[in-house]
């Protein structure tokens, strides 16, 4: 078991730090955001993630998990340094590595013995080499270090389970010494026979982007099929089900919607395409998925306008602001584009989300009218659009919805409402690939 420091205590760093502590390691999570660390030291989770508080509390109690804003001190007291800082989209779609590079410098300045520097942030191929160069340049002693790539595959909304029982763990290493350290860190997972892919650093870095890009392509594919199904009078759910029964395809990620969003797929597809361009390799399929995703957001607006061609003065209720259920993360959420499009077309928008409403207002539209319940949001609305498949929206009472709304118009961009009931109640509705069945 190792002494670990996780730098960056966000969605990935906090879950990973608490998870690594749960595996028996001694972990200190640190962040330059002192407010976040204060919250954690006071037992408050800075993000919404099911099961996270229990995981954190259990490991604090077990004295395996601590939080600090003193990053240098955390490095000095650790053998393995995980970097989990953000790598947002930068210029031209490239990943912005400012935070990763800043961390590498801080690590170099605090290298008081052999350490393994492990990148968990999603970084373009070649970043491991870059980190090595930075540390070599800025360290002021002869201490040795190894650089490792350990991409993270957790999904927001089910991050705790994904981290504790992953499908696989990938690490890219350059030598047996670093590999042994990583095997010690993940020892608990070896015991439950989790597949481990041990490879070189460049391969590990690319595995993460290849996985996310493939999933983005799969989503964009079924999204386009849903548009065709709507035009042709077919049922995309039956198409997806039959496709998914083919073992070569698999049923997962064949759910049409308003386009993928969140903190990973949009920026990672762009960054991968840009990296490939830099190598003079054209990733046509990935670029097409990016374009299809932008079109899909527009297609939701088109569906709305096919019911209400003139939106000026119309009241539209938007149910679901997070990019997916069970998270408060609104980064690159389809709701942003769609709500802005509605406002631009003259609609007055009222939003509802059980968890993410405040974040949505903070990052995008401070003046957006948001309500504390579905029923307040849909009151007097001319149209309701569903953008996130929160469980409470899956069970929405349609008679009640009709009663509350001014006009019974619905665009179900997540295909969660019962079509027979919508028809029976006289709703005018659109969905994604089942509108004409
Ligand atoms: N969110 C996900 O679902 C997910 C999944 C897999 C991989 N990733 C990748 O993991 C990385 C982190 O993503 P996230 O969603 O956790 O980001 P985040 O924005 O939630 O967290 C990043 C944290 O790093 C801190 N930070 C920034 N610079 C720092 C510095 N110099 N020193 C210390 N702390 C610093 C920030 O204050 C913030 O708390 C990204 O590269 C992302 O692509 C994210």
Tens of pLDDT, residue by residue over 163-189, are: 999 999 999 999 999 999 999 999 999
Q: Ligand 1 in contact with 85 (CB < 6 A)? A: yes
Ligand 1 atom nearest to CA at 159:
3
The residue whose CB lies within 8 Å of the most ligand 1 atoms, and thus the one to mutate among 7, 9, 10, is 10
Distance of alpha carbon 319 from alpha carbon 298, whole angstroms: 17
Q: Is the pLDDT of residue 91 over 90?
A: no
Q: Ligand 1 in contact with 36 (CB < 6 A)? A: yes
Distance of alpha carbon 108 from alpha carbon 100, whole angstroms: 12
Structure tokens at 162: 């994904």
Q: What is the pLDDT of residue 422?
A: 98
- Of 212, 179, 215, nearest to 197 by C-alpha is 179
- Of 165, 214, 428, 202, nearest to 308 by C-alpha is 428
Q: What is the pLDDT of residue 190?
A: 87
Mean pLDDT of 395-403: 97
Q: Is the pLDDT of residue 58 over 90?
A: yes
Determine which helix (DSSP H) or strand (DSSP E) holds 172, and give its type and residue range.
Answer: strand 169-172
Q: What is the pLDDT of residue 191?
A: 84
The residue whose CB lies within 8 Å of the most ligand 1 atoms, and thus the one to mutate among 11, 70, 104, is 11
Contact 417, 432 (CB under 8 A): no
Mean pLDDT of 75-83: 98
The residue whose CB lies within 8 Å of the most ligand 1 atoms, and thus the one to mutate among 52, 67, 85, is 85
Q: Ligand 1 in contact with 7 (CB < 6 A)? A: yes
Q: Do 3-199 and 234-431 fold alike per CATH? A: yes
Mean pLDDT of 403-411: 98
Q: What is the pLDDT of residue 436?
A: 86
pLDDT confidence band for 129 (50 / 70 / 90): very high
Distance of alpha carbon 402 from alpha carbon 302, whole angstroms: 22
Q: Which CATH superfamily is domain 234-431 in?
A: NAD(P)-binding Rossmann-like Domain (3.40.50.720)
Mean pLDDT of 359-364: 97
Backbone torsions φ then ψ of 176, nearest 5 degrees? -70, -30
Q: Is the pLDDT of residue 420 over 90?
A: yes
Q: Ligand 1 in contact with 124 (CB < 6 A)? A: no
Q: Which CATH superfamily is domain 3-199 in?
A: NAD(P)-binding Rossmann-like Domain (3.40.50.720)
pLDDT confidence band for 230 (50 / 70 / 90): very high
Which residues fall within 8 angstroms of residue 409, CB to CB, at 6 or more apart?
307, 308, 382, 383, 384, 427, 428, 429
Q: What is the pLDDT of residue 267?
A: 98
Q: Whose CA is nearest to atom 19 of ligand 1?
A: 86
Mean pLDDT of 188-193: 90
pLDDT confidence band for 395 (50 / 70 / 90): very high
Q: Is the pLDDT of residue 404 over 90?
A: yes
Query: In the 8-state DSSP scheme, what is residue 66?
Result: E
Ligand 1 atom nearest to CA at 123:
41
Distance of alpha carbon 356 from alpha carbon 82, whole angstroms: 28
Provide the 3-class DSSP secondary structure of residue 348: strand
Q: Whose CA is nearest to atom 36 of ligand 1?
A: 8
Mean pLDDT of 136-145: 95
Q: Is the pLDDT of residue 283 over 90?
A: yes
* Domain positions in the chain: 3-199, 234-431
Q: Is the pLDDT of residue 1 over 90?
A: no
pLDDT confidence band for 437 (50 / 70 / 90): confident
Question: Could you tell me the distance, in angstroms and rounded to a whole number, from the CA of residue 7 to the centre of ligand 1?
Answer: 9
**Residues designated as active site:** 264
Mean pLDDT of 75-84: 98
Q: What is the pLDDT of residue 299?
A: 98
Distance of alpha carbon 265 from alpha carbon 255, whole angstroms: 15
């Amino acid at each position: 078991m190792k002494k670990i420091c996780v730098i960056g205590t966000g969605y990935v760093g906090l879950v990973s730090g608490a998870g690594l502590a749960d595996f028996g390691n001694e972990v200190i999570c640190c962040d330059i955001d002192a407010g976040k660390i204060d919250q954690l030291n006071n037992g408050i989770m800075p993000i919404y993630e099911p099961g996270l508080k229990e995981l954190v509390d259990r490991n604090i109690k077990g004295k395996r998990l601590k939080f600090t804003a003193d990053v240098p001190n955390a490095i000095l007291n650790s053998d393995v340094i995980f970097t989990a800082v953000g790598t947002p989209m930068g210029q031209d779609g490239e990943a912005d590595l400012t935070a990763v590079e800043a961390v590498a410098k801080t690590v170099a300045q605090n290298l008081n013995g052999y350490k393994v520097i492990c990148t968990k942030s999603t970084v373009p191929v070649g970043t491991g080499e870059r980190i090595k160069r930075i540390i070599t340049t800025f360290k002021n002693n002869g201490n040795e270090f190894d650089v490792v790539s350990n991409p993270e595959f957790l999904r927001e909304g089910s991050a705790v389970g994904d981290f504790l029982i992953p499908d696989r763990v990938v690490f890219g290493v350059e030598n047996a010494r670093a590999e042994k350290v990583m095997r010690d860190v993940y020892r608990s997972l070896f015991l439950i026979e989790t597949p481990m892919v041990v490879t070189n650093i460049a391969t590990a870095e690319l595995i993460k982007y290849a996985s996310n890009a493939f999933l983005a392509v799969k989503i964009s594919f079924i999204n386009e099929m849903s548009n065709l199904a709507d035009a042709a009078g077919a049922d995309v759910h039956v198409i997806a089900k039959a496709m998914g029964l083919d073992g070569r395809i698999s049923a997962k990620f064949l759910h049409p919607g308003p386009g993928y969003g969140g903190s990973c797929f949009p920026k990672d597809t762009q960054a991968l395409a840009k990296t490939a361009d830099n190598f003079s390799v054209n990733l046509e399929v990935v670029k097409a998925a990016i374009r299809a995703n932008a079109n899909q957001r527009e297609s939701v607006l088109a569906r709305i306008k096919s019911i209400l061609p003139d939106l000026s003065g119309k009241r539209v209720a938007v149910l679901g602001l997070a990019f997916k259920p069970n998270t408060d993360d609104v980064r690159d959420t389809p709701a942003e584009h769609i709500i802005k499009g509605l406002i631009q077309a003259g609609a007055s928008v009222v939003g509802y989300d059980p968890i993410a409403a405040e974040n949505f207002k903070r990052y995008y539209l401070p003046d957006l009218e948001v309500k504390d319940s579905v029923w307040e949001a849909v009151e007097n609305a001319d149209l309701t659009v569903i953008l996130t498949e929160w469980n409470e929206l899956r069970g929405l009472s349609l008679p009640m919805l009709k009663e509350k709304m001014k006009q019974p118009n619905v665009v179900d961009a997540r295909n969660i409402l019962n079509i027979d009931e919508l028809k029976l109640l006289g709703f005018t509705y659109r969905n994604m690939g089942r509108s004409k069945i």
